[in-house]
């Protein structure tokens, strides 16, 4: 079994970071087995090197090694690409075709961007992992394959499972061993080493003197976040080698090639969480409104049922006074405020002298008792309500009809005057 230093030299891997050495050591340890391996890490960290190391150190190294970019194959043809198809299976299938799993029999297949696989293809892949069998598109015959599967992804598969975009059982079959490749910002000690290697390669390629960084530029290079990781660092080295006339690069020149330097680079997930939080608050408000509406509707149902069973009575109004006020309170206020000219004029008998009723219109306004009469509207209203109730033996419905007001308004006036 090769050592880590031998692996680095053979596959052109540069770096002394403990995180990188741990990932390489794990790849060497699992290479002698046939278990499936899942390589995780951000885009541009160099995940494709790990499957080559695993295959090159395994007993399958003399058999085929096929790398498949799952995100670059259209959804409609990916099953045919992976598992093959029979003649006439679909429009354009003019002959039988072998898929990658059949071509890689006895070797290793590397599924890059495995998180982009359609759900239907994930089911087929799960069968290969569990039984070593697959069925071509358009065929009913099962075929065996002896393939070592390695996969890589830069997406959070746990989050994809939660959203229903990736099968949980497939995740655990692929993730027998996970190898995480560190981001470039997590291995700052390696940034300048990798940069110098790229600069030397491009100087040889374009027949130019290699560029050099000043001490301040080197510090800037190490402290940059590198969202594009090694791929972005390689592009930077190529741009500087070709574009800059001076072979000595200072921090001012380097800064013009590093997008967003000096600015806060918040992770994209920050905004997503903020949007989810805003949506959650709106949803809670909507739930509260719906709950209040349901409560009011239940109160209205209860009041209607009581009316249907017992009708309107004094005991009903007393028992349900709060509920009546809650539902009809605003309507009572509106009904009590009517234009003066539209209110019907009713004159109740104030007293009797024998069998003859004396009405207000028969009063002698010149009589001296008028001067002692109480002119308060509130007192008059109270007096009229009391007399109407006395005349109708306390029956509010009849008293309200005689007063020319609604029964609800009379009920409110009784409560107002504590009658």
What DSSP character marks residue 77?
Answer: T
CA 222 from centroid of its chain's CA atoms: 35
Residues of the chain with pLDDT under 70: 1, 262-281, 306-376
Given a contact cutoff of 8 angstroms between Cβ atoms, the answer to whether 139 and 86 are in contact is yes
How far is Cα 7 from Cα 249, in angstroms, rounded to an integer? Answer: 33
What three-state secondary structure class fits 39?
Answer: strand
Which pLDDT value is given to residue 418?
75
What three-state secondary structure class fits 415?
Answer: helix
Which pLDDT value is given to residue 397?
82
Which pLDDT value is given to residue 289?
77
Given a contact cutoff of 8 angstroms between Cβ atoms, the answer to whether 53 and 24 are in contact is yes
How far is Cα 135 from Cα 84, in angstroms, rounded to an integer? Answer: 8
Torsion angle in degrees (nearest 10) through CA of 39, 41, 46, 49: -10
Q: What angle do CA 294, 296, 301 make, to 5 degrees?
A: 95
Which pLDDT value is given to residue 387?
83
Q: What angle do CA 237, 241, 246 make, to 5 degrees?
A: 125
How far is Cα 227 from Cα 230, in angstroms, rounded to an integer? Answer: 9
How far is Cα 199 from Cα 239, in angstroms, rounded to an integer? Answer: 10
Please, which residues have CB within 8 angstroms of residue 220's CB and are 6 or more apart in sequence? 251, 254, 255, 258, 261
Q: Which of 54, 16, 13 is nearest to 177 (CA)?
A: 54
Which pLDDT value is given to residue 280?
61
Given a contact cutoff of 8 angstroms between Cβ atoms, the answer to whether 81 and 218 are in contact is no
Q: Which of 268, 295, 314 is nearest to 410 (CA)?
A: 314
Please, which residues have CB within 8 angstroms of residue 393's CB and are 6 or more apart in sequence? none
Please, which residues have CB within 8 angstroms of residue 246's CB and are 6 or more apart in sequence? 253
What three-state secondary structure class fits 175?
Answer: coil
Q: Where are the alpha helices (DSSP H) in 94-228?
A: 100-103, 119-131, 157-162, 168-174, 188-206, 215-223
Given a contact cutoff of 8 angstroms between Cβ atoms, the answer to whether 147 and 104 are in contact is yes
For residue 165, the number of C-alpha atoms closer than 13 Å in the C-beta half-sphere is: 11
How far is Cα 146 from Cα 62, in angstroms, rounded to an integer? Answer: 14
Q: Which of 145, 84, 157, 148 is nearest to 117 (CA)?
A: 157
How far is Cα 306 from Cα 407, in angstroms, rounded to an integer? Answer: 17
How far is Cα 412 from Cα 332, in angstroms, rounded to an integer? Answer: 8
Q: Looking up tokens 């033996």, which residue turns up?
A: 393
The strand ranges marked E within 10-84 are 37-40, 65-69
How does DSSP assign 375-393, residue by residue? Answer: --HHHHHHHHHHHHHHHTT
pLDDT digits 0-9 by tens, 53-80: 999 999 999 999 999 999 999 988 999 9
What three-state secondary structure class fits 166?
Answer: coil
Which pLDDT value is given to residue 24?
96
How far is Cα 236 from Cα 216, in angstroms, rounded to an integer? Answer: 17
Which pLDDT value is given to residue 343?
45
């Amino acid at each position: 079994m090769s050592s880590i230093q031998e692996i680095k030299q053979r596959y052109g891997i540069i770096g002394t970071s403990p995180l990188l050495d741990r990932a390489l050591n794990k790849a060497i340890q699992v290479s002698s087995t046939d278990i499936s391996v899942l390589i995780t890490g951000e885009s541009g960290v160099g995940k494709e090197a790990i499957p080559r190391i695993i295959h090159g150190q395994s007993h399958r190294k003399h058999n085929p090694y096929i790398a498949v970019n799952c995100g670059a194959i259209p959804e409609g043809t990916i099953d045919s690409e992976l598992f093959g198809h029979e003649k006439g299976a679909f429009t354009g299938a003019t002959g039988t075709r072998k898929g990658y799993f059949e071509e890689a029999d006895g070797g290793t297949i590397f599924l890059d961007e495995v998180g982009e696989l359609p759900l239907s293809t994930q089911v087929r892949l799960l069968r290969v992992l569990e039984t070593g069998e697959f069925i071509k598109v358009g065929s009913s015959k099962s075929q065996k394959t002896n393939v070592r599967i390695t996969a890589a992804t830069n997406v959070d598969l746990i989050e994809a499972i939660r959203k229903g975009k990736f099968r949980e059982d497939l995740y655990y079959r692929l993730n027998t061993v996970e190898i995480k490749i560190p981001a470039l910002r997590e291995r700052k000690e390696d940034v300048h080493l990798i940069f110098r290697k790229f600069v030397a390669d491009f100087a040889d390629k374009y027949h130019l003197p290699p560029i050099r960084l000043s001490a301040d530029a080197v510090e800037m290079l190490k402290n940059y976040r590198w969202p594009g990781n090694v791929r972005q660092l390689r592009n930077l080295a190529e741009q500087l080698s070709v574009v800059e006339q001076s072979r000595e690069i200072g921090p001012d020149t380097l800064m013009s090639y590093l997008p967003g330097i000096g600015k806060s680079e918040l992770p994209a997930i920050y905004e997503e969480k903020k949007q989810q939080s805003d949506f959650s608050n709106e949803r809670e408000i909507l739930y509260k409104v719906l709950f209040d509406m349901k409560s009011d509707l239940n109160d209205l149902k209860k009041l209607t049922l009581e009316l249907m069973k017992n009708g309107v009575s004094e005991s009903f109004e007393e028992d349900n006074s709060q509920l009546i006020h809650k539902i009809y309170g605003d309507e009572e206020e509106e009904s009590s405020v009517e234009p003066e000219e539209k209110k019907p004029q009713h004159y109740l008998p104030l007293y009797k002298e024998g069998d003859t009723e004396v009405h207000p219109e028969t009063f002698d306004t010149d009589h001296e008792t008028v001067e002692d009469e109480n002119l308060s509207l509130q007192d008059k209203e109270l007096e009229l309500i009391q007399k109407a109730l006395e005349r109708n033996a306390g029956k509010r419905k009849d008293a309200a009809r005689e007063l020319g007001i609604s029964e609800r308004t009379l009920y409110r006036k009784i409560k107002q005057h504590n009658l």
